[in-house]
Amino acid sequence: MKHLILALAVTGWAMSASSHEVAKGPNGGPIADSSGHHVEMVAKGSELVLFLTEADDKPLASVNTKNARAVVQDGGQTATISLQPVEPNKLVGKLAQPLGAGARVVFSATMADGHTVQARFVNN
């Protein structure tokens, strides 16, 4: 009986892990859903770019975004990156160094209409 329960638990864990795989966005980065919006993270060299879109994949304006930042944990170090709006739907920041594999990025911002958007990513 113990072996059956263990086998079912392992199978269930494997199935749930595969059902939560992160989709890739049109710019090649992982996408997270937040408050009915999509956030795509793309890190190239020392630049971190977050693309904002509505649920129907139309661009979400980044103009007048407030308190946009990303907290980056990479290689045992944590840094907060300020993000600046770039039209039409990007938030861009500078990294001290390129993101390593497994780096964690937590993004948050207050949009022009006052609602908050948050997303979490793991760099692969």
Q: Tell me, what CATH number does 109's domain have?
A: 2.60.40.1220
Among residues 49, 57, 62, the alpha carbon closest in space to that of 105 is found at 49
Give the model confidence (pLDDT) of 8-57 as tens digits: 444 444 433 333 345 899 999 999 999 889 999 999 999 999 999 998 98
What is d(CA 84, CA 8) in angstroms, rounded to the nearest whole number? 47
Give the model confidence (pLDDT) of 56-106 as tens digits: 989 999 999 999 999 999 999 999 999 999 999 999 999 999 999 999 999
CB 73, CB 103: distance < 8 Å: yes
Q: How many domains does the chain have?
A: 1
Domain that holds residue 113: 23-122
Give the model confidence (pLDDT) of 96-119 as tens digits: 999 999 999 999 999 988 989 999
pLDDT at residue number 113: 86
pLDDT at residue number 22: 56
